[in-house]
Structures are given as structure tokens and as C-alpha cells.
A and B are shown apart, each in its own frame.
Chain A
């Protein structure tokens, strides 16, 4: 019975987080994009960008609502499904959890104000001022909650003496070794993903026949932002690899199928693992893993042979790593080519085929986000707190978790479908051409 509770608790947590992350990622990244568009609109005195900010906001509200709901769900599920973990976490890591709600509060207040003061102030700068706390609140929510997660990967800031907690230091717990790379990676990939999701929308309208300058401006802006943030992602991703080599070598070794400790370690891309744990069809890049792990081609990289079998994460996380990195590099190249192409006047970047690639960029970025989170989370199995508490010991003893899994799955399906239907309806009924016409009348033809 208890074994079932552990299994279902894991599945339910994974389901909730997988669903929540879609909305949370947009919730962190989109406010920044809205703020940038509003800022450019003011700076260039170009109404198109202001309108861009508003139309993004309208869609954003839908994702925020579902994000709040699913965020509340995971917040409560932590205590419902993992009570033993929360007892410990409450003692050591409650501080960032608590601060996260402040950041969320701050964002909620100013988002409400921004949304309902539409056109209430003559001066557009006032609207920009309202967006700054929204973007700050959203990003800091991600910072604080990722600190909690990084603690689970690198717990510190307390002593366990005969199973009892002692010498708790909440600040040390917050600034654990996993924190800098994890926080930076989460925040930057959220910006990157949001930029590409918004690029997808503009690209879709252009690919399906619109020639409106509004969409062209939107696509160029979001692709540029996407490029900047994917370069940042790649750099921070490299640092994350070095962090893993230093502090969580079993996760890196499992992700890279690095079975035996060795120097001059090659990096394996792709490939499959057969039932005898033999790697087939992989592309081997010599020295790359040593460089990834320690900056140096002849550096020694710890392999899975250094760990007892019951402390090794599942080896399928290699596929997740491949997915994440491939998409990341692909999107970096895509946005680079687009930006360069527009600058140089290459006509193929405006072709239907290229635009359809751009349409795919948003969904692909989201898949990379999911793959990255699964990699990070499955990669620390069997631990819930690496080296301290096993996942199986943290789960609830309540026998009804399977029922709740069914209940929540239905809920998420309804919310997911609802989001899609409402979004499509909202923008189909009010295309940009119509809104521009409406506003032109309203503003007495002041559009530039």
C-alpha cells in the first residue's frame, strides 16, 4: 500500500509540475517581453509596439490565471504528498518559499492595476512603470522557487545529529552550490522560451498570408530577444555541466552514459542503450565531456562505477539531455540566421518554409523546458534530498493518492483545452487589423 502511495505521489507531482511549468515559464518570461515592447514603443514613439504589449498581455492573463491555479495546486501538494519532506524543508528552506509568495503578491497587485487601468493614464510611461514590478515580481518568483529546488539537489545549511536537525542556517541553505547555475538557467530559459513562443505567433500570421508590418516588427523583435537569451542559455548550460561534474557527478554520468571513470572522456550525442547497457549508434565527440566537465581535454570525469547501484539515476535521462541541447542549439542557429538574414536582406528568411520553422520554435522551446526539468528531477533519483532523504521515505502514507491522480488529470485536461479554445477565440475575433482600425478611430488617427 505504501509502495503504491510513493509511486502515485511521484506520478501526480510530475503531472502537476509538467502542466504547471508550461504556464509558469510563460509567466516568468512574457512580462519581460511586454515590458520591452512597451519601452520600445515609447522610445520609438511607435504605436505598433504599444499595441503589441497590450495584445500579449491579453493572452498572458489567461496563462497567468491557469498558472496561479496550478501553482496553488503544487504548493499544497508538496505538503499533501510529501509531508515528511516538508517537515524537514519547513525547518531549513521555508525562507525562500515564504519570499516567493511575496514576489507573487507583488506581481499580482501590479498586474491587476496594469490590466484595469488600460488607457486611464494619458502618459504611456505610467503604464511602463506599472509593468516593471510585474516583470520583477515574476522573475523573482522563479528565483526563489528555484532556490528551493536547488536545495533539494545540494542540501546544506543544517546538521543531522542522530536523525535530529541542528544548527539550521536558512541563508546558507539558500546559497547552496546548485543555486547560481540553476537559478540563472531557469530564468534565462524562461525568457528564451517566451520570446520564441511569441515569435511563433507572429510567424504563424506571416506564414498564413498576412503581410502586415505589425507582425513583421513582432517577429524581428522576438527573434532578436530569442537570440540573446539562447546565447545566454548556452553559456549558463555549460556552467551547469561544470557544476554537475563537481557536485552531482552521478547525474552528469547518467545523462552522458559515462560508465567508467576516465580522463579524455568523449561526449556521446544521441544513440540508444540496449538491454546489456551497450551504447549503439551514438556520435562520439572526443574530449568534449572532459572539456564540458572541467574546462580541460585530459581532465578525469567521474563515471557511474563510483556509485552503488541503488544510488544511480535512471539512464534514460540521456535522451532528455539530447532533446534539450539539440533544441537549444537549433533555436540559437535559427534566430541567428533570421537576424543576420534580415540585416543582409536575404530573401529566404521571409520564405514560407523559413517562417514555418519559426512557427515551430515556440513549441520546441517548450519541449526543451520540459525535457530539461525531467532531466534535472529524474537525475537526482533516488533522492528527494540528495544524500539525505530518499524519495520513498518522504511520500505520504495516505492510500488515496491514485484517486487524486485521476481527479487532477481530468482537471488539467479541461484547463489545457480551455486555454487553447479561449486563446484562439480571443485573437480570431479581434485580429490586429480590426484592433488597429478601432484604435485609429478612438485616437483620432494619431497612429504613426
Chain B
């Protein structure tokens, strides 16, 4: 295995981590706001706040890790993506700022401000949408080179159906992942009403998720045939992912084994995510940048990997402690 593959694997692991913890976070804030509107906040708010508060900062670090890592392993990405993504990523930063400050201003300062909770909930939907644009752009066709400098074609970006399909997928995925997780979490807390409500949401969002996901594969056929062919070669990964989805939904339907249901969901998304990532190989930005011509020098790659291993030895036990104290602690979860 060469250094490029190790580098991209590390980054994919962190991106996947961010997608999972981020989705739970974004979705939870949306459900929180929604429950305020339909006046059911007494059911959900407690459960959501109790989970989110200790981990929101950790969620954010996954994102920082990813963007620092990609510049470290693949410095050329700064040139292509940095130059072109000024507006979408800046909007993303502002949305992140709304979310970060919400915890500080709302949770510690001024509880129960409805307007703020509402904006916060909306940011949970807009943020995945604004970040998923990066994914769309990586498919190629949105960036052209003018005078040796990359330029993003906004007209093409906003008129292509693929853009909007990816946005839809990111939103449905956020709501589905979050709902399944919160069903399990509420059930663990012994909160019957919250479990019932979240289970309902999970089942509602299961079908749109699988439809949008399948839709994108079909659209890629026209947009980027090379990528489509690669996906077809990995069809078995997506097939297993689909079966796992069926199993999650089945368990939810049967009202049992919510913990296993969530683990199946993680596996389902991992397969789809890695299947997508592997089929994208070797491009970081089709067709301008591959992981080989964008890769850093060998000395830096090796030191980054060593730093990563050492850092990981520090992080895994710490994360375990965090999870044990908050997520897997019956006492904490049920609010004692």
C-alpha cells in the first residue's frame, strides 16, 4: 500500500466520522426546532440537549481535522478548492458560527429563546447542503481553468440536477441518521414518548433516503460515466448497504433492538461512503486533480502519518472515556 492510499484513507475515516456525528448533531437541532413549532418540545428537548451538550465541540473537531488533514496530505487541493469555494465555504462557516454560539448563548446564558432555536434548527439543514456542494464539484464539470486559475461556474452549478440531488440526499441522510440515533438514545433513557416520536421520524425519512441515494447513482451515469462504471464494478458494496438499510428499518418497525439498528445504520453508511470513495479513485477533483499529482512530499507524508498514529493513541482512550461517561452511562442518559 502506498502513502497516497494511506493518506486518503485517514482523511476518509475522519470525513466519515464527521458525517456521522455531524448528522446526529444537525438533525437533532432540526428536530428540536420542529418540536418547538408543533409544541412538543417537552418530549424532545431534554433528551436532545443532554446528548448534544457535552459532544458538540468534539463534533466540530472532526471537521477541522478533515480540512487540516487534506491540506497536509494533498496541498494542491488548497489551490483548486480554496480558490473556487470562497463563497459556499464562507456561508458554511457562518452557519457553523450560528451553531457554535447557540450552545454558548442558549445553553449557558439565556435558555428557551424560540427564535434562536429556530435559526439553529434551520442551520442544521443548510449546513449539510452548503458542505455537500464540495462533493458535487468533485464530480467535475463545474470548475474551468481561466488564465491558469480555477474558476467555479455558478450557473452550471445551480442548474445541474445533480447538485440538487446531492443537497436532497444530504438533508434526508441527516434527518434519518439523527432520528435512528435519537430513537436508541431516548429508549436507553427510558423515555417512552420521545422514543415513539423519534421512531416515527426515522421511519418517515427511511424511504426518501434510499430513493435519493439511488437517484444519484442513476444521474452520475449521464454526468460522469467513468465514475458510474466504477460504481457498477463495486455493485456488491451498495447491495450489502441496501440490505443493511432493510434490516435497520425492519428492527425499527418491530420496535426492538434499537442499539443494533443504529449499528446497522452505521455499517450501511460506511459501505455506501467507502464504495463511493473507492469508485472516485484516483480523482480528488475530476479531471484536474488526482491523489497522485496532489500529494505532498514523502518526508511530510511520513511525519503526518506518525503524528496521526501518536495522536490516535491519545484520542481513542479519551473518546472512550467521554462515551462511557455520557453515552453509555445509564445514570447520565436518564438525567440522574
Give residues in A with beta carbon < 8 Å to B: 58, 61-62, 64-66, 68-73, 75-77, 79-84, 86-92, 94-95, 97-102, 104-106, 108-113, 115-117, 133, 165, 168-171, 396-398, 400-401, 403-404, 407-408, 411, 415, 418-419, 421-423, 425-426
| Selected interface stretch from B68-76, B171-179, B216-224 | B68-76
Q: CB within 8 A of A169: which of B64, B77, B78, B299?
A: B299
Neighbouring A residues of B54 by C-beta, 8 Å: 112-113, 115-116
A71 to B74, CA, bound (A): 21
A112 to B21, CA, bound (A): 15
A78 to B299, CA, bound (A): 23
B156 within 8 A of A: no
B105 within 8 A of A: yes
Neighbouring B residues of A115 by C-beta, 8 Å: 53-54
A400 to B86, CA, bound (A): 8
9 more A-B contacts (CB under 8 A) besides A90-B300, A108-B57?
A: A62-B105, A84-B79, A89-B75, A90-B78, A102-B314, A105-B315, A115-B54, A401-B86, A422-B109
Report whether B104 and A73 are in contact in the complex, using a CB–CB cutoff of 8 Å: no
Q: A97-B71, A105-B65 are in contact. Are A83 and B83 (CB under 8 A)?
A: yes
B149 within 8 A of A: yes
B263 within 8 A of A: no
Q: How far is the CB of A198 from chain B (nearest CB, A)?
A: 18
A423 to B79, CA, bound (A): 40
- The B interface is mostly helix, strand or loop, or mixed, namely helix
Report whether B100 and A65 are in contact in the complex, using a CB–CB cutoff of 8 Å: yes
A400 to B151, CA, bound (A): 12
Report whether B82 and A79 are in contact in the complex, using a CB–CB cutoff of 8 Å: yes
Q: A102-B311, A109-B318, A396-B86 are in contact. Are A94 and B75 (CB under 8 A)?
A: yes
Report whether B300 and A95 are in contact in the complex, using a CB–CB cutoff of 8 Å: yes
Report whether A66 and B67 are in contact in the complex, using a CB–CB cutoff of 8 Å: no
A98 to B306, CA, bound (A): 11
Name the residue on A nearest B146 (C-beta): A397
Report whether A79 and B71 are in contact in the complex, using a CB–CB cutoff of 8 Å: yes
Report whether A87 and B93 are in contact in the complex, using a CB–CB cutoff of 8 Å: no
Report whether A68 and B60 are in contact in the complex, using a CB–CB cutoff of 8 Å: yes
| Selected interface stretch from B228-236, B265-273, B320-328 | B320-328
Q: CB within 8 A of B296: which of A66, A94, A106, A116?
A: A94
Q: How far is the CB of B148 from chain A (nearest CB, A)?
A: 9
A-B contact pairs, 24 of them (CB 8 A): A62-B108, A72-B63, A73-B93, A75-B67, A86-B71, A90-B72, A91-B75, A91-B297, A94-B68, A98-B68, A98-B308, A101-B61, A102-B314, A109-B318, A111-B57, A112-B57, A115-B54, A170-B299, A396-B82, A404-B87, A408-B93, A411-B97, A415-B97, A418-B101
Neighbouring B residues of A61 by C-beta, 8 Å: 104, 108
Neighbouring A residues of B58 by C-beta, 8 Å: 105, 108-109, 112
A100 to B68, CA, bound (A): 9
Q: A95-B304, A168-B297 are in contact. Are A422 and B83 (CB under 8 A)?
A: no
Report whether B96 and A94 are in contact in the complex, using a CB–CB cutoff of 8 Å: no
Q: A76-B67, A94-B75, A418-B101 are in contact. Are A408 and B299 (CB under 8 A)?
A: no
A419 to B332, CA, bound (A): 29
- The A interface is mostly helix, strand or loop, or mixed, namely helix
B85 within 8 A of A: yes
A422 to B103, CA, bound (A): 12
> Which of B55, B82, B96, B100 has the largest number of chain A CB atoms within 10 A?
B82
Report whether A398 and B304 are in contact in the complex, using a CB–CB cutoff of 8 Å: no
Report whether A83 and B96 are in contact in the complex, using a CB–CB cutoff of 8 Å: no
A184 to B57, CA, bound (A): 27
B163 within 8 A of A: no
Name the residue on A nearest B85 (C-beta): A80
Report whether A79 and B314 are in contact in the complex, using a CB–CB cutoff of 8 Å: no
Neighbouring A residues of B2 by C-beta, 8 Å: none
Q: CB within 8 A of B307: which of A89, A99, A110?
A: A99
Q: How far is the CB of A4 from chain B (nearest CB, A)?
A: 13
Q: How far is the CB of B9 from chain A (nearest CB, A)?
A: 16
Neighbouring B residues of A71 by C-beta, 8 Å: 64
Neighbouring B residues of A81 by C-beta, 8 Å: 82, 86
A92 to B78, CA, bound (A): 14
Neighbouring B residues of A58 by C-beta, 8 Å: 108
Q: How far is the CB of A67 from chain B (nearest CB, A)?
A: 9
B278 within 8 A of A: no
Report whether B101 and A104 are in contact in the complex, using a CB–CB cutoff of 8 Å: no
Neighbouring A residues of B318 by C-beta, 8 Å: 105-106, 109-110, 133
Q: CB within 8 A of B90: which of A87, A404, A415?
A: A404
Q: CB within 8 A of B319: which of A109, A401, A404?
A: A109
Report whether B321 and A113 are in contact in the complex, using a CB–CB cutoff of 8 Å: yes
Q: CB within 8 A of A170: which of B65, B79, B300, B325?
A: B300
B303 within 8 A of A: yes
Report whether B322 and A87 are in contact in the complex, using a CB–CB cutoff of 8 Å: no
Neighbouring A residues of B326 by C-beta, 8 Å: 112-113, 116
Report whether A101 and B68 are in contact in the complex, using a CB–CB cutoff of 8 Å: yes
A-B pairs with lowest CB-CB distance, top 5: A90-B75, A94-B72, A65-B104, A422-B109, A86-B78
Report whether B101 and A165 are in contact in the complex, using a CB–CB cutoff of 8 Å: no
Neighbouring B residues of A65 by C-beta, 8 Å: 57, 100-101, 103-105
Neighbouring A residues of B189 by C-beta, 8 Å: none
A105 to B310, CA, bound (A): 13
B254 within 8 A of A: no
A385 to B100, CA, bound (A): 32
B84 within 8 A of A: yes
Q: How far is the CB of A106 from chain B (nearest CB, A)?
A: 6
Report whether A87 and B101 are in contact in the complex, using a CB–CB cutoff of 8 Å: no
B26 within 8 A of A: no
Q: How far is the CB of B101 from chain A (nearest CB, A)?
A: 6
A429 to B256, CA, bound (A): 45
A68 to B63, CA, bound (A): 12
Neighbouring B residues of A101 by C-beta, 8 Å: 61, 64-65, 68-69
